[in-house]
Amino acid sequence: MDTRFAQRRRRDLIMAVCFAVAAALVPLFVKDVYVQNIMVLTLMYAALSQSWNILSGYCGQISLGHALYFGLGAYTTALLFTKFGVLPWFGMLAGGVISALIAMALGYPCFRLRGHYFVIATIVIAETGLLLFQNWDWAGAALGIDIPIHGDSWLKFQFARSKLPYFYFALALACIAWLVTWWLEDSKWGYWWRAVKDNPDAAESLGVVVFDSKMGAAAVSAFLTAIGGSFYAQFVSYIDPGSVMGFQFSLLMALPAVIGGIGTLWGPVLGAVVLIPLTELTRSYIGGSGRGVDLIVYGSLIVLISLARPEGLIGLFSRGHRGPAR
């Protein structure tokens, strides 16, 4: 029985390599900046949603406050660079570590909560972070931070002319998030998380350290999310609290995984590939009127997919397939 799971994992890895290579070649044929922009966002959301999926999908601790870690990543990078001249690469790492530590500090009291009490705690904590940043003058308060651009530089990870470097970084990020998930799926942690998700009490009685499992998932998930936030800050070169820490962001991060298939390896990728281009296209082709038609289309889609495919769009591809081994 184990061999089928091992086979599937090998197939997944080969598929991922093929997709990554194909994606890397796309910019050779697609020169349109608008399309490239959509591709960067798609890859970024694939990475973010994959990170969210580790805590909420695999470990079952539904977080609707991941905007906090995204924002912390963005702010750490931007503040270190603009105030102290620290290169974004180090800022990125610092943002990841800070977010992981904060996730564990918050997890300590929060992981005792269950169900909606936990979900609302995550929302409320992220909103508190948002309000604090909006009132923190040193960090630019509600106006935010403008990251000065001095031409193209890999060292400072900023590019004025071409989107391509951002594209390749986002691709690398999506690949790393995927690989981490792939690797964790078959590790001790992966089995623990699924046990915690299915039945925490039974898992505890079988010797799974439920609390540590949740803490581990939170740390990995927050670290990767913060890296995504750091990337976003460099990509848009301007951040303010609302645009990196707002509640909408927490939902946008969760949505690809939910639409694609929560708690699955490919769900977040599939969800992002379907959802993000669609969001961007409806926004620019019908949203231009400012009359909310884009919202109507987007919202209806979410309702329809979540009602028609509760297990996610991934269910269309794997008939009768049972997901990861238990």
* 288 touching other proteins, by CB under 8 A: no
127 lies in the site for other proteins, by CB under 8 A: yes
As measured in angstroms, the least distance from the Cβ of 47 to other proteins is 20
Nearer to other proteins, 220 or 314 (CB): 314
Judged by beta carbon, residue 202 or residue 304, the one nearer other proteins is 304
Token reading at 248: 């909408």
In angstroms, give the least distance from the CB of 127 to other proteins: 6
Q: How many CB atoms lie within 10 A of CB 235?
A: 21
Q: Following CA atoms 39, 177, 53, 298 in sequence, which dihedral angle do they give, to the nearest 10 degrees?
A: 0
- Choose which of 188, 292, 316, 321 interacts with other proteins (CB under 8 A): 292
How many residues bind to other proteins according to rule CB under 8 A?
45
Least distance (Å) from other proteins to the CB of residue 108?
A: 10
Q: Which amino acid is at 91?
A: G
Residue 262 in contact with residue 53, Cβ under 8 Å?
yes
Give the range of 2-10, 107-115, 175-183, 220-228 binding other proteins by CB under 8 A: 107-115
6, 131, 160, 209: which one binds other proteins (CB under 8 A): 131
* Residues 251-280, interacting with other proteins (CB under 8 A): 251, 255, 258, 262
Question: Rounded to an integer, what distance in angstroms lies between the CA atom of residue 308 and that of residue 224?
Answer: 31
Question: Which residue from 4, 10, 11, 114 is in contact with other proteins, where contact means CB under 8 A?
Answer: 114
Establish if 215 lies at the interface with other proteins (CB under 8 A): no
Q: Among the candidate windows 73-81, 110-118, 172-180, 200-208, which touches other proteins by CB under 8 A?
A: 110-118
Question: H-type helices in the chain, by residue range?
Answer: 2-29, 33-53, 67-84, 88-110, 115-134, 164-185, 188-198, 200-205, 210-236, 241-245, 247-260, 267-285, 293-308
Residues in the chain: 326
Smallest gap from Cβ 110 to other proteins, in A, equals 8
12 vs 265: CA distance, rounded Å? 9
Q: Which of 133, 21, 40, 24 has the alpha carbon at shortest distance from 78?
A: 133
Beta carbon of residue 130, minimum distance to other proteins (angstroms, whole number): 10
